[in-house]
Amino acid sequence: MNNFYILIYLTEELKTNCIGKVFDFSTSPHKNVWEAYLYDEKNRIRLVFSVNSTETALFTDSYKTAKKSNTTTFFEPIAGLRVKNITLAENDRFIYFHFDMGYSIIFKLFGNKPNCFLVQDGVISDAFKQPDYHNGKPAPKPKKPSPAPISELNKNLNPKNTIIKTSPKFPRHLIPLLIEEFNLSEKSVQDIAELTKKWTYQMQQNPNFRVLQTGNICLLPENVLPDSAHKTFSEINEAVKFAYYNTSKERRLSERLQSIKPRVNSSVKKTESTIRQLEKADKGLERAETYEQYGHLLMSQAHIKPDGGTESISVSNFYDNNKSIDIPVKPDRSIAENAQLYYDKSAKAIRGVEESKRRLKENRTKLSELETIAESLHQIEKVYEFDDWFQENEQSLQRLGILAQNVQKEKTPYKKTEIEGFEVWIGKNAKSNDRLTTDAHKEDVWMHARGVSGSHVVIRMNNRQDMPQKSVILKAASIAAWNSKARGAGLVPVIITKRKYVIKPKGAPAGTVRVQREQVELVKPQKIS
């Protein structure tokens, strides 16, 4: 969605759609998504920019009413200014929106940290991501990759590196497809370089805007790369928009599935292991029978007084052809008392077998239910299907132990609850906040009402490096707002960051921390339901 050749055509369409329009405001409706609202006398549009490194995309979309609550606005100094021009860096994936008063927005559409910057006279004055880090620094400069002449290519280069050396901006996702389609592993470096130049020319002069089944955009026509297209478009903006929304849906679905699937699979394995152990319970009956026989054999000798200090007694075993058998006994007890101990052991073993059989039946029922849930989870293909599935199965998931119950144990140092499959911790007081933050994993999401005292709140991520879906973050932030001194306010700013960016200064009072990186959400305080 963001290779250089796509951006060539996208820039031209952005000029048509955006030049002359007035910048109204920009906001972030979702994590890693920036939206600007532009208008002129005829219509209003949205400019959408995704900074997710796996789905970086810039495109225009139809107007819709912006979500005003729980959002932050960006780039306010250019409100009311018109877009004068739009340009693409000569050899890099930077798109520039130019305004009056020396302002421009620079979209960086590559790398692990895509971003957009508000720049005035060559200096960054604001940024969508990490503004505190970027503000005041020079605007980013495009690189100037230069292709290598065919004559200078190393004859030992593999096909992939040959293509990249010949055309540094060549779309990386197309290279494996072309290697397979044209059997490039059998061709010389010179032949591959010539083909690469031909393909590059076709993307520049005769593009087709195709979204492949993989979700990637391909500019090469089907007679060059006959990989089946999911959909073909006449405009690149529509192709980018289609590819982005489909990829975004898949990512959101993946996030939701990953919040539940590992827990279900783990519960299935644990239940299967428990069943295997309980199926061995019949061995307890053998022990019960042996203990009962020992009791009978000892009672048959109850008239005998054992020697003091003896730890076993030898008797004739009338259950085994009167063979002699040594039965362990407690030396401080009489023969009759030792017999009673064995009768007690026999009864206990029988009760254990009965309990194991009861638990075996319960666990077989549980396993059947878990397998049904796992199968239904496997069949989910849409985000809305997961939401419906979760609502339908939430109580079962709690009963089966996959989701934590909303019942708090007073012995725990902090409260625990559940939000859409994510375990959430809530501090009770200063010492509890300290313990909560210490116990949290570095990839857990940490939050606290900004500027006031209150509870630390953590969303458990199970060592996942990403963030939970926005709905989970906002609900947890609302809990943090409720458990703070700002509870009575209509909207409360809440700091949100990863636990690894939270530091406790040496010697600081309990509950005191320093946050190195943060984002802020405005939320309405809400009590745990």
Please give the DSSP secondary-structure letter assigned to residue 102: T
Question: Does residue 167 form part of some domain?
Answer: yes
Handedness of CA 180, 186, 190, 195 (dihedral sign): negative
The domain boundary, picked from 384, 403, 422, lies at 403
The domain boundary, picked from 234, 249, 271, lies at 234
Question: Does residue 252 form part of some domain?
Answer: no
Residue 370: predicted pLDDT: 94
Question: Does residue 139 form part of some domain?
Answer: no
Residue 405: predicted pLDDT: 46
Same structural domain, 383 and 455: no
Query: Which amino acid appears at position 386 of this protein?
Result: F
In CATH, what number is assigned to the domain containing residue 73? Answer: 2.30.310.10
Same structural domain, 270 and 329: yes
Look at residue 424 and give its three-state secondary structure. Answer: strand
The domain boundary, picked from 403, 427, 444, lies at 403
Give Cα 30 to chain centroid, integer Å: 15
Residue 254: predicted pLDDT: 75
Same structural domain, 87 and 14: yes
Same structural domain, 431 and 514: yes
Residue 210: predicted pLDDT: 92
* Element (DSSP H or E) covering residue 25: strand 22-30
What is d(CA 291, CA 287) in angstroms, rounded to the nearest whole number? 6
Same structural domain, 169 and 262: no
Q: Please name the residue that has the structure tokens 């089966």.
A: 400
Q: In the chain, which stretches have pLDDT less than 50?
A: 405-410
- Domain extent, residue 489, equals 414-523
Same structural domain, 280 and 389: yes
pLDDT in tens, 253-298: 777 787 788 889 989 999 999 998 888 877 788 888 999 999 999 8
Question: Does residue 487 form part of some domain?
Answer: yes
Residue 193: predicted pLDDT: 93
Question: Does residue 346 form part of some domain?
Answer: yes
Question: Does residue 243 form part of some domain?
Answer: no
What is d(CA 74, CA 3) in angstroms, rounded to the nearest whole number? 26
Count of the separate structural domains present in the chain: 4
Contact 417, 424 (CB under 8 A): yes
Same structural domain, 479 and 378: no
Contact 522, 70 (CB under 8 A): yes
State the greatest distance between any 2 C-alpha atoms of the chain, in Å, as a whole number.
113
String of DSSP letters for 218-278: E-S-TTT--PPEEEEESSHHHHHHHHHHHHHHHHHHHHHHHHHHHHHHHHHHHHHHHHHHH
Same structural domain, 391 and 280: yes
Question: Does residue 174 form part of some domain?
Answer: yes
Residue 110: predicted pLDDT: 92
Question: Does residue 143 form part of some domain?
Answer: no
What is d(CA 265, CA 269) in angstroms, rounded to the nearest whole number? 6
Same structural domain, 261 and 334: yes
Q: In what order do the strands lie in the sheet with 209-212?
A: 217-218, 209-212, 229-233
Same structural domain, 170 and 278: no
